[in-house]
Amino acid sequence: MEPPADPRARRLFGGSARALGDLATSPFRADRDRIVGSPFFTRLGGVTQVVSPGGSGLLVHNRLTHSLKVAQVARAIAERLTADGQQRDLVEKLGGCDPDVVEAAALAHDLGHPPFGHLGERVLDRLARHRLGLTDGFEGNAQSYRIVTSTEIRGAATTGLDLTAAVRAAMLKYPWTRLDHPDPHPRTMDPPPRGATPPPDDPDSGSLKFGAYRTELDDLRQARAPFAGRIADWQQTVEASVMDTADDIAYAIHDVEDFYRVGVLQQGTVAAELMAWQREVGQLRAITDSALATSARRPGSSIERLRRQLHHKDGWIADDEAFAAAVEHVREELVEGLLALPFDGSIEAEQYVARFSARWTTRFVDSITVVEQPAVRSGHVLLAPAQWHEVQVLKFVHHRFVLARPDLALHQRGQARLLDTLVDALREWLLDPEEESRLPRRLHDLVELAEAELHPRTPDRLGKARGRAIVDFVAQLTDGQAVAMLDALSGRSGALWTDAFVL
């Protein structure tokens, strides 16, 4: 399949990635440059990955450095797949896998991530649905897609980044809307694809994760059109699957690195959990689910719950022997390796962390395979079973010994309240008729954009447009800008000129 000759048509072309990659000037490289040149990419340096960039006292990953590492891993996977003749043929059959495409998609995948990490995502979704009347709510992946297609402002036109169809399709980790596309909706499948399940506290609200709001549905369809007949309409493209897998790999490795550096991950507590499970695995497996839930403080019980959750959710790949081997490998590499000596900031310590990261990254990338008929909860690109289990155990260590900490919960509750108050304050400002001429110009523009997107007969059209504009506006702030803006709106700030208003 050859790309069209017309340059504009070629920018919309999403078929043979390899053919396009051979062009002297690849439009996919132009996509990558547009993404990196966007102010929305730059702002990711001030957005939380797990803890606020300035909140740990030491350098930890933020959304910018995370995106760069995901792009690095994604490109390595794509280059490996295209170098393997047998896998390359299958990849081409499924629609292609260009390293420039996956790198660009990886760089763009978190552009819509709001202040304060996944906590901010949950808070904005709740406020958007229950306070602002937006059926689609808020979702970080859908917000990223919205930015590259509509809300990124370049000059006088609000046109997005004008990315190729292949890159936009590669950004769609969840290629469906919240409620009604495609039909039948993936959340009705048994089992549903990963991310398509509704939130347990609101089963009628649609999928928990989704790739685009209804306002960007036409663009989603256009981006996915070249892959029709090659992959299922709810399934990721190969390039999206590469990006998604790279995201998982980077997350599993660098969050462990971060909290080793900060001193949160301690050898004793991690060793006690893993070794207790290994020592008492027979007894732990005999405990009922209800009894296990009440013994959270017993060493080994948390990782036994993980084993059961994997069987429940991912029975297509979960395997007890592979799980036990993964626990042992993580224990050797992490407990007896990385955590054996506290991080002291020395060059030697940094080199040790770098070797740990490189070793795990190579192990994961080398295990990647492509399958023509994947399980419903998998993409076409996936880790080998042994490495898939290792990723789950590494992510468990992060969840159990970092995310579950009461001190982090205390910090996050304050951030949630901050976003709640900020949304209310901006809404009051928008509704004040005497202040219309003094609204931040970006907020005013976003209201006009949102109103133009809605059908003229939409009930409470202006109210919904204002709600979407507030969500778009807050989602585009850094952590620091959100704090500074609320300080200014509440009268706590003594500074007249701050970067809270510059975006």
Helix 301-313 × helix 267-279 angle, to 10°: 70
**16-71 confidence digits (pLDDT tens):** 344 444 444 689 999 999 999 999 999 999 987 665 555 544 567 789 999 999 99
Report the 10 Å Cβ neighbour count for 6.
10
Q: Which residue has the tokens 């994604």?
A: 74
User: In this predicted model, what pLDDT tens digit does every residue of 211-225 receive, in sequence order?
Assistant: 999 999 999 999 999
Q: How confident is the model at residue 119 (pLDDT cuts 50, 70, 90)?
A: very high
Which pairing describes strands 369-370 and 157-158: parallel, antiparallel, or unpaired?
A: unpaired
Q: How far apart are the C-alpha atoms of 468 and 439, rounded to whole Å? A: 16
The mean pLDDT of the chain is: 88
Give me the sign of the Cα torsion angle 212, 217, 223, 225. Answer: positive
| Cα separation, 432 vs 132, whole angstroms | 16
In the chain, the N- to C-terminal Cα span, in Å, equals: 42
Widest pairwise Cα distance in the chain? 70
Is the Cβ–Cβ distance between 4 and 10 less than 8 Å?
yes
Residue 176's pLDDT is what?
A: 98
In order, the DSSP letters of 259-319 are: HHHHT-S-HHHHHHHHHHHHHSHHHHHHS-HHHHHT-TTSTTHHHHHHHHHHHHH-TTT--
pLDDT-derived band at 275 (thresholds 50, 70, 90) equals very high
Give the CA radius of gyration of the chain. 23
pLDDT at 11: 37
Q: What percent of the chain has pLDDT over 90?
A: 71
**Contact in structure between 238 and 94 (CB atoms under 8 Å):** yes
- pTM, two decimals, is 0.91
CA atoms within 13 A on the CB side of 227: 31
133-137, 229-233, 294-298: lowest mean pLDDT where?
294-298
Distances (CA, A) of 392 to 91, 303, 326, 368, 386: 26, 10, 9, 15, 10
Residue 159's pLDDT band (boundaries 50, 70, 90)? low
